[in-house]
């Protein structure tokens, strides 16, 4: 898929995002004049959610280690899946999701980043879009509790896009041997964190 084709796919979400971003909303004194209070709520929600930051960063590491085509696939596909399923989550309402499900991307993506296995580009694209769909739906359903949840989703996706782009580019440009090992270690920590979250989820669930 060419960069042009990928960007054309982004056109619709971008237009939708612009449309909802200008919708008026109430917030604090400053935001009341801009109508972007929920935008910041959505951005802050992601920044205060390590269980979402870690898999996004692990995907960025995995894609960055694999090379340019993987990096592009991750940076483009993740926000697309996130925004589409985020909007779906806003429409379907609050969701009570077990930490068991949230641990899966941590373990999978952390493990892949640590292993640094050669893989086809389509696999990275699929993983990115699946992660975007899962986390987007979770964040969208949480945003449905606030007014103008759609704008909140746009705020979240903006920060997700910045995060995945910066992490992926930083890892891609980390050419020294030790730095590539260091990011793989981070991948293993992410997987370990996922295993801890899984154990906690099973315990809360009464399965352990």
Partner 1 sequence: MIGRSLLPAVLWRLLFAAAMSLFAFPVTAFAHEIRPAFLQIDQTGPARYKVVWRTPVLSGMRLPVVLRFSEDIRDVTPPAERALPDSLVESRIIDTDDGGIAGKRADFVGLQATITDVLVRVHMLDGTVTTTMIRPSQPWIDFATERSPLEAARIYFVSGFEHILMGIDHLLFVLGLLFIVRSRWMLFKTITAFTVAHSITLAVATLGKVEIPALPLNATIALSILFFGPEIVRAWRSQTSFTIRHPWIVSFAFGLLHGFGFASGLTALGLPQGDIPFALLLFNLGVEAGQLAFVALILLLIAALKSIEIRLPRGMELLPAYVVGGLGAYWTIDRIVAMFGGLA
Q: Is 152 in the site for partner 1 (CB under 8 A)?
A: no
Q: Is 72 in the site for partner 1 (CB under 8 A)?
A: yes
From the CB of 53, what's the least distance to partner 1, in Å? 5
Token digits for 126? Answer: 């699929």
- Which residues lie closer than 8 Å to 129 by C-beta, 6 or more apart? 77, 78, 80, 81
Q: Is 91 in the site for partner 1 (CB under 8 A)?
A: no
Token digits for 129? Answer: 């879009």
Q: Is 178 in the site for partner 1 (CB under 8 A)?
A: no
List, as one string, the DSSP characters of 133-179.
Answer: HHHHHHHHHHHTTSTTHHHHHHHHHHHHHHHHHHHHHHHHT--SHHH
The footprint of partner 1 (CB under 8 A) covers 3-8, 11, 14, 18, 21-22, 24, 28-31, 33-36, 39-40, 48-51, 53-54, 57, 60, 68, 71-72, 75-76, 94, 96, 98-99, 142, 145, 162-163, 165-174, 179, 182-183, 186, 189-190, 193, 201, 204-205
């Amino acid at each position: 898929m060419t960069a042009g084709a990928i960007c054309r796919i982004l056109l619709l979400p971008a237009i939708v995002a612009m449309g909802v971003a200008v919708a008026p909303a109430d917030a604090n004194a400053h935001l009341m004049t801009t109508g972007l209070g929920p935008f910041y709520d959505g951005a802050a929600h992601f920044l205060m959610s390590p269980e979402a930051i870690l898999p996004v960063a692990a995907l960025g590491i995995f894609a960055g280690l694999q090379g340019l085509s993987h990096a592009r696939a991750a940076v483009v596909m993740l926000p697309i899946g996130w925004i589409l399923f985020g909007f779906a989550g806003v429409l379907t309402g609050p969701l009570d999701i077990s930490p068991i499900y949230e641990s899966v991307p941590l373990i999978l993506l952390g493990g892949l980043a640590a292993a640094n296995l050669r893989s086809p580009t389509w696999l990275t694209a699929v993983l990115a879009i699946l992660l975007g769909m899962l986390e987007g739906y979770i964040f969208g359903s949480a945003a449905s509790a606030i007014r103008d949840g759609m704008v909140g989703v746009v705020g979240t996706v903006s920060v997700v896009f910045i995060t995945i782009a910066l992490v992926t580019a930083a890892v891609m440009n980390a050419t020294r041997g030790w730095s590539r090992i260091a990011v793989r270690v981070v991948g293993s920590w992410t997987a370990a964190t996922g295993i801890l979250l899984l154990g906690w989820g099973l315990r809360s669930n009464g399965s352990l």
